[in-house]
Amino acid sequence: MLLTFVAFLVAIALLVAVHEWGHFAMARACGVKVLKFSIGFGPKVISRISKSSGTEYQIGLLPLGGFVRMLDEREEPVPAADLPYAFNRKPLRSRAAIVAAGPIANLGLALLLYTCVNWMGVTEPEALVSKPAAGSIAEKAGFSGGERIIQVGFEEGPLSDVMSFEDFRWWLTRAALEAKALHIAYQTTEGAPRETTLSFQSLDVTHADASMFRSIGFVAPQSPARISELIPDSAAVTAGLQPGDVVLQVDGKRILDAAQLRELISNSGVSKLPEPQQWLVQRKGEHLLLGVTPRQQHEEGRAFGRVGAMIGGAPAMVQVRYGFWSGIHKAGSKTWEVSALTLRMMGQIVTGAASVRNLSGPITIADYAGRSAAMGLEQFMVFLALISISLGVLNLLPLPVLDGGHLMYYGWEGITGRPVSEAWLSGLQRVGFAMLLLMMSIAIFNDFSRLFA
């Protein structure tokens, strides 16, 4: 809990600081006088006034935001000597650059973080796929589990090497949300090369979550069918299974991974009482044949088999690291792809093609901040990059009260030669604030729904 809280504060403070620094740095570059630079809202915790510039730097008690206050005649009277440094007196291109600099700084931070992670290297699961769910797209395409993904690409483009399962998962995400066919080159468990194409035209992407990947068939990387924990007085204990046992065969059928074994056990009790099975297990280098009889259980009107054991071990891992230039290029591509996908997802939510349940609020962000921090610095940096891109893209939307809304006003001014009237500006700001409040309310509701689901 403490790690989650600290990681969340660090993430929010850093992302807000970078965003506001973008506005601040561009304002100074354009000759605008900055009166106050604040990280956080509410009562001041720390405050200092620069003797050279007169800018007040402060940290507020509530870290969920920040602001840069600039000299502006629309907010207060400005002395004649300071008029050349007022924001409203600057040309349109300067005002637009100052507004756009915040979101661009967030995108730049994501690029930097991705680049550093690429240079440092990150340990990720190998691109070995588990047995796909019955009836999934992957199963219909001929995948049975244990295949190694070598290359992927969209049909209209070249194939790219797959470095890890996370790399493959990212390609699946893009293909599903963009409704593109994905061409896959892989090796079977015997090492034979194969190629196939997965079509996602019929896939329901209303909810871009775990259910989408279950429909695709690739939920997690392959993990060994290892017994990790036993429930007392369970079928597994009665059969003599022990933690650390690796299941090799069931009734002479080869077991490739934990997902296959779990499915086999569950299906054994669907239509009738489970029958005795012969399990071939490996224990401390020896092979043992054990008789296991799953027990039928019922839940929510559904019958299934269960042995009372946690099944699954850590997947095979690989170190993913890039060189100097390849790391920068890969980071640039990832920043662009995530930005485009984020914008597409937001557009689908607005049009109804994607559910509003995909919106996440501070509780979900805090949860993922804690999880990624617990996994190590590299994973936390990847999380920060993702959130930084989301913040940058969100702020560029043409929504009043956001940076994109102000850019929309400047676009009108550039076309017509006159600024938006005060009456329109006031009305649009109220509408924008209401829309933003609605989005935040939905996101927080989704957070609590996930929390108590």
- The pLDDT tens digits of the residues spanning 327-353 come to 999 999 999 999 988 888 877 777 666
More confident residue, 101 or 133: 101
Provide the 8-state DSSP code for 221: B
Residues of CATH 2.30.42.10 domain(s) within the chain?
123-221+315-320, 227-305
Catalytic, 76? Answer: no
pLDDT value of position 90: 93
Fold of 227-305: Pdz3 Domain (2.30.42)
| Better-predicted residue by pLDDT, 169 or 207 | 169
Note the CATH number of domain 123-221+315-320. Answer: 2.30.42.10
Determine the pLDDT at residue 54.
87
Q: Which residues contact 335 (CB under 8 A, 6 or more apart)?
A: 107, 110, 111, 114, 385, 389
Q: What pTM, to 2 d.p., does this model score? A: 0.85
- Give the relative orientation of helices 324-351 and 92-120 as an angle to the nearest 10 degrees: 120
47 contacts 58 by C-beta, under 8 angstroms: yes
Which range among 160-169, 232-241, 280-289, 352-361 shows the weakest confidence by mean pLDDT? 352-361
pLDDT, tens only, 282-315 = 999 899 999 999 999 988 788 999 999 999 888 8
Give the burial string for 45-73 (b: 16+ CB within 10 Å, else e): eeeeeeeeeebbbbbbeebeebebebbee
Choose, from 20, 124, 126, 378, the residue flagged as catalytic.
20
